[in-house]
Amino acid sequence: MAVSGIKPGVPVILRELEPSSPFFKHGQSLRVIGRLEAYQAETGIAEISDGNVSLKIGTQHLINLIFCAGSLYQFIGELVIDFDTQDVLLQARVGRMVDGLDLNLYQQSLHLSRKLESYISSTSRSKRNLG
Protein backbone atom coordinates (compact mmCIF):
# COMPACT_ATOMS: atom_id res chain seq x y z
CA MET A 1 0.00 0.00 0.00
CA ALA A 2 1.39 3.40 -1.02
CA VAL A 3 1.75 6.07 1.64
CA SER A 4 0.50 9.50 0.63
CA GLY A 5 2.63 12.58 1.35
CA ILE A 6 -0.48 14.72 1.77
CA LYS A 7 -1.04 15.80 5.35
CA PRO A 8 -4.46 16.56 6.81
CA GLY A 9 -5.39 20.23 7.03
CA VAL A 10 -5.08 21.56 10.57
CA PRO A 11 -8.15 23.67 11.32
CA VAL A 12 -7.23 27.28 12.05
CA ILE A 13 -9.07 30.55 12.45
CA LEU A 14 -7.84 33.24 10.05
CA ARG A 15 -6.74 35.58 12.85
CA GLU A 16 -4.36 32.82 14.05
CA LEU A 17 -2.34 33.13 10.84
CA GLU A 18 0.24 35.65 11.94
CA PRO A 19 4.03 35.28 11.75
CA SER A 20 4.34 34.35 15.45
CA SER A 21 1.78 31.54 15.12
CA PRO A 22 2.91 27.88 15.11
CA PHE A 23 0.58 27.43 12.10
CA PHE A 24 2.40 30.10 10.06
CA LYS A 25 4.88 27.87 8.22
CA HIS A 26 5.57 27.54 4.53
CA GLY A 27 4.04 24.25 3.34
CA GLN A 28 1.84 23.83 6.43
CA SER A 29 -1.38 22.00 5.58
CA LEU A 30 -4.34 24.03 6.87
CA ARG A 31 -8.14 24.12 6.88
CA VAL A 32 -9.63 27.62 6.89
CA ILE A 33 -13.10 29.13 6.72
CA GLY A 34 -14.03 32.62 5.62
CA ARG A 35 -16.47 34.77 3.71
CA LEU A 36 -15.64 35.24 0.03
CA GLU A 37 -14.74 38.88 -0.56
CA ALA A 38 -13.44 38.63 -4.11
CA TYR A 39 -12.62 36.13 -6.83
CA GLN A 40 -10.51 36.73 -9.94
CA ALA A 41 -11.29 34.08 -12.53
CA GLU A 42 -8.28 35.09 -14.68
CA THR A 43 -5.77 34.33 -11.92
CA GLY A 44 -7.79 31.80 -9.92
CA ILE A 45 -7.19 33.82 -6.76
CA ALA A 46 -9.97 34.21 -4.20
CA GLU A 47 -9.90 36.30 -1.07
CA ILE A 48 -11.72 35.25 2.07
CA SER A 49 -12.12 37.12 5.33
CA ASP A 50 -13.19 36.61 8.91
CA GLY A 51 -13.74 39.92 10.65
CA ASN A 52 -10.87 42.22 9.75
CA VAL A 53 -8.48 39.42 8.71
CA SER A 54 -8.24 38.18 5.14
CA LEU A 55 -6.36 35.48 3.24
CA LYS A 56 -5.73 34.87 -0.44
CA ILE A 57 -6.63 31.43 -1.74
CA GLY A 58 -5.17 29.83 -4.87
CA THR A 59 -8.05 27.96 -6.47
CA GLN A 60 -6.40 26.79 -9.70
CA HIS A 61 -6.70 23.10 -8.73
CA LEU A 62 -10.39 23.26 -7.84
CA ILE A 63 -12.99 22.26 -10.40
CA ASN A 64 -16.76 22.58 -10.32
CA LEU A 65 -16.72 25.06 -7.44
CA ILE A 66 -18.93 28.08 -8.00
CA PHE A 67 -17.76 31.27 -6.31
CA CYS A 68 -20.37 33.61 -4.90
CA ALA A 69 -19.28 36.81 -3.16
CA GLY A 70 -20.56 36.98 0.41
CA SER A 71 -20.86 33.21 0.80
CA LEU A 72 -18.93 31.23 3.39
CA TYR A 73 -16.24 28.83 2.09
CA GLN A 74 -13.94 26.22 3.60
CA PHE A 75 -10.59 25.45 1.97
CA ILE A 76 -7.95 22.84 2.70
CA GLY A 77 -4.50 23.32 1.27
CA GLU A 78 -0.91 24.29 1.83
CA LEU A 79 0.34 27.67 2.99
CA VAL A 80 2.66 29.41 0.56
CA ILE A 81 4.69 32.27 2.05
CA ASP A 82 6.84 34.51 -0.13
CA PHE A 83 9.29 35.88 2.40
CA ASP A 84 10.61 38.51 -0.03
CA THR A 85 7.23 40.14 -0.72
CA GLN A 86 5.49 39.00 2.51
CA ASP A 87 2.64 37.59 0.37
CA VAL A 88 0.72 34.74 1.99
CA LEU A 89 -1.54 32.39 0.04
CA LEU A 90 -3.26 29.11 0.76
CA GLN A 91 -2.91 26.87 -2.30
CA ALA A 92 -6.22 25.03 -2.05
CA ARG A 93 -6.61 21.37 -2.96
CA VAL A 94 -10.17 21.13 -1.59
CA GLY A 95 -12.87 23.76 -1.38
CA ARG A 96 -16.55 23.90 -0.61
CA MET A 97 -19.28 26.38 0.14
CA VAL A 98 -20.42 26.15 3.77
CA ASP A 99 -23.24 28.70 3.90
CA GLY A 100 -25.39 28.04 6.94
CA LEU A 101 -22.43 27.17 9.16
CA ASP A 102 -22.48 29.12 12.43
CA LEU A 103 -18.94 30.51 12.38
CA ASN A 104 -18.97 31.51 16.06
CA LEU A 105 -20.09 28.03 17.11
CA TYR A 106 -17.45 26.48 14.81
CA GLN A 107 -14.73 28.59 16.43
CA GLN A 108 -15.94 27.67 19.93
CA SER A 109 -15.92 23.96 19.09
CA LEU A 110 -12.40 24.28 17.63
CA HIS A 111 -11.23 25.93 20.85
CA LEU A 112 -12.81 23.19 23.00
CA SER A 113 -11.40 20.46 20.77
CA ARG A 114 -7.88 21.87 21.15
CA LYS A 115 -8.35 22.10 24.92
CA LEU A 116 -9.40 18.45 25.05
CA GLU A 117 -6.48 17.34 22.86
CA SER A 118 -4.08 19.27 25.10
CA TYR A 119 -5.57 17.66 28.22
CA ILE A 120 -5.37 14.16 26.74
CA SER A 121 -1.80 14.76 25.61
CA SER A 122 -0.69 16.03 29.04
CA THR A 123 -2.50 13.17 30.82
CA SER A 124 -0.83 10.52 28.67
CA ARG A 125 2.60 12.17 29.24
CA SER A 126 1.99 12.09 33.00
CA LYS A 127 1.06 8.39 32.90
CA ARG A 128 4.22 7.59 30.92
CA ASN A 129 6.34 9.46 33.46
CA LEU A 130 4.73 7.54 36.34
CA GLY A 131 5.09 4.17 34.66
Do 96 and 106 have their domain in common? no
How many whole angstroms separate alpha carbon 53 and alpha carbon 48? 8
Instruction: Provide the residue range defining the domain that includes 29.
Output: 10-100
* Domain-located, residue 4: no
65-92 pLDDT, tens digit per residue, is: 999 999 999 999 999 998 888 899 999 9
Which range, of 3-7, 29-33, 54-58, averages the lowest pLDDT? 3-7
Do 64 and 106 have their domain in common? no
Do 124 and 79 have their domain in common? no
- Based on the structure, what is the number of domains in the chain? 2
Selection from 15, 22, 21, 81 nearest residue 48 by Cα: 15
Do 29 and 86 have their domain in common? yes
Burial class (CB in 10 A: 0-12, 13-18, 19+), 95: buried
Do 81 and 107 have their domain in common? no
Amino acid at 77: G
Enter the DSSP assignment of 69.
T
5-18 pLDDT, tens digit per residue, is: 788 899 999 999 98
Q: Is the dihedral of CA 20, 43, 59, 102 positive or negative?
A: positive
pTM of this prediction?
A: 0.86
Amino acid at 14: L
At residue 107, the 3 state secondary structure works out as helix
